[in-house]
């Protein structure tokens, strides 16, 4: 077995155990393999190991992989997610090529996504990125601005809002991240009480995904634990 296949197996086991601990059904937890800096050959190994959803955070690097002929012929059906910060002028390169855009954090950005999706005659699935701490995360909408943004985005015809995403501050001790994951879930629950249907919570990375699952993550974004340290 390749080291990637072994890592995928180990990560899946940890996801299952975290789901079990928190009384959740593992089928509602999607593993998104983060492939930034990872080359096509290693992505192919991940596909062979059974992974189906891949995440990229830079437009240029992502496009090469999404359009890779080599990957398409070997992979069958895989799904790409755009997980990084998206600039308005890059929206046209992302809409339609990625099943889900994880980190939408302004009205201006969602307007452009809606406009580009309309041009292509599609509905683009998105998540809203929430900034849960003052200093640590650069991007994301504040808690106060979240509900107004959800209301605005829900009016667009060519966007489907599926949920929320966050990148909490990094702690060596993953337990310290728990309040942030919990907070994102509470914000989602508040939005649901206000009549919005937001099933997805994209939260948790290599060092803290088990805590995120215990707090309700439906998508975990994992790079290092599958592909090893990035250079
Ligand atoms: C790189 C990245 C990840 C994965 O990080 P790891 O620690 O390698 O698992 C997850 N989410 C986003 C937005 C990233 O940029």
Distance of CA 209 to the CA centre of its chain: 12
User: For residue 136, what pLDDT is reported?
Assistant: 62
What does the mean pLDDT of the chain come to?
A: 95
Provide the pLDDT for residue 130: 97
* Ligand 1 center from residue 93 Cα (angstroms): 21
Q: What confidence tier does 133 reach under pLDDT thresholds 50, 70, 90? A: confident
Instruction: Say how many Å lie between the first and final Cα of the chain, rounded.
Output: 23
Specify the pLDDT at position 90: 97
Q: Which residues pair with 163 in a beta bridge?
A: 127, 200
Confidence of residue 137 (pLDDT cuts 50, 70, 90): low
Residues within 6 Å of ligand 1 by CB: 34, 36, 57, 83-84, 167, 205-206, 221-225
**222 Cα nearest atom in ligand 1:** 9
For residue 156, report the distance from its CA to the centre of ligand 1, in Å.
29
Q: Ligand 1 centroid to 34 CA: how many Å?
A: 6
Which atom of ligand 1 lies at the shortest distance from residue 227's CA?
8
Q: Which atom of ligand 1 is nearest to the CA of 84?
A: 13
Q: Whose CA is nearest to atom 7 of ligand 1?
A: 206
Q: How far is the CA of 194 from the centre of ligand 1 (A)?
A: 31
Q: Residues near 65 by Cβ (< 8 Å), separated by ≥ 6?
A: 35, 40, 43, 54, 56, 71, 80
Q: What share of the chain is helix, strand, coil (3-state, %, to 5)?
A: 45, 20, 35
What would the two tokens of residue 38 be?
């990872």
Looking at the predicted structure, is the pLDDT value of residue 60 above 80?
yes
What number is the average pLDDT over the span 150-163? Answer: 98
Encoded tokens for 63: 């496009």
């Amino acid at each position: 077995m390749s080291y990637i296949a072994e890592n995928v197996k180990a990560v899946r086991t940890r996801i299952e155990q975290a789901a079990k601990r928190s009384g959740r059904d593992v089928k509602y937890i999607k593993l998104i393999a983060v492939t930034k800096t990872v080359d096509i050959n290693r992505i192919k190994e991940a596909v062979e190991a059974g992974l189906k959803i891949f995440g990229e955070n830079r437009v240029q690097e992502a496009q090469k992989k999404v359009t890779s002929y080599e990957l398409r012929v070997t992979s069958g059906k895989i799904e790409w997610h755009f997980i990084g910060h998206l600039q308005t002028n890059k929206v046209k390169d992302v809409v339609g090529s990625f099943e889900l855009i994880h980190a939408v954090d302004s009205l201006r950005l969602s307007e452009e996504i809606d406009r580009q999706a309309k041009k292509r005659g599609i509905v683009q699935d998105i998540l809203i990125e929430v900034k849960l701490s003052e200093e640590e995360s650069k991007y994301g909408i504040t808690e106060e601005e979240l509900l107004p943004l959800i209301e605005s985005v829900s009016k667009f015809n060519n966007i489907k809002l599926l949920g929320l995403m966050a990148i909490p501050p990094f702690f060596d001790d993953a337990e310290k991240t728990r309040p942030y994951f919990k907070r994102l879930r509470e914000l989602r629950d508040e939005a649901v009480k206000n009549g919005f249907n937001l099933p997805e919570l994209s939260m948790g990375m290599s060092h803290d995904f088990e805590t995120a699952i215990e707090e309700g993550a439906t998508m975990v974004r994992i790079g290092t634990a599958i592909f090893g340290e990035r250079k």
